[in-house]
């Protein structure tokens, strides 16, 4: 009997040591943040993304992994159209609308400067519009919500079929 207790204890100790050893070698993955953006009349729409760890100094640059995809007047633009593009965030990578944070992106035809959009070919004041940002949830978060919703649906469906079978 004493041997079986020691065998179980040894197995648990070995298992725990393996868990910690594997946990130490697995790299920590930083969260990828994605934002949609658009001007008031939606002639400019786009998405940009970056690694949350890059926002540690409040500015994320292309060299730090900033990716930009935008469409303006049926033309496509990426970070290659402005090698100096950057995003200004708080320290956690969050961008709040009209808080002086956001994308700095100037291809040849327009300028996005944080919460302002300027059409560089429009010399009137109508070329200036507000930019809005919307955070896009992570795919893993969306998958979790989907599984949770499916579970609730199936539970409701099972409960419904049980109640109808008890009535018969």
Chain centroid offset of residue 17 CA: 34
Q: What pTM, to 2 d.p., does this model score?
A: 0.66
**Tokens coding 123:** 């010399």
Q: Could you list the pLDDT tens digit for every one of the 168 residues in the chain?
A: 555 665 655 554 545 554 555 444 444 566 999 999 999 999 999 999 999 999 999 999 999 999 999 999 999 999 999 999 999 999 889 998 888 899 999 999 999 999 999 998 887 766 789 999 999 987 654 445 455 555 555 555 555 555 555 555
SS3 of 15, please? helix
């Amino acid at each position: 009997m004493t041997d079986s207790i020691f065998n179980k204890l040894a197995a648990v100790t070995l298992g725990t040591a393996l868990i910690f050893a594997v946990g130490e070698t697995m790299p920590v993955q930083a969260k990828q943040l994605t934002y949609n953006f658009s001007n008031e009349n939606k002639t400019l729409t786009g998405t940009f993304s970056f690694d949350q760890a890059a926002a540690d100094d409040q500015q994320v640059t292309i060299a730090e992994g900033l990716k930009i995809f935008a469409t303006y007047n049926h033309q496509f633009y990426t970070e290659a159209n402005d090698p100096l593009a950057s995003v200004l965030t708080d320290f956690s990578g969050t961008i709040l609308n009209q808080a002086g944070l956001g994308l700095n992106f100037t291809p040849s035809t327009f300028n996005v400067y944080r919460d302002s959009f300027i059409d560089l070919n429009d010399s009137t004041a109508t070329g200036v519009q507000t930019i809005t940002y919307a955070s896009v949830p992570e795919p893993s978060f969306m998958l979790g919500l989907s599984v949770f919703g499916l579970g609730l649906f199936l539970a409701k469906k099972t409960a419904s079929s049980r109640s109808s079978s008890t009535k018969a």
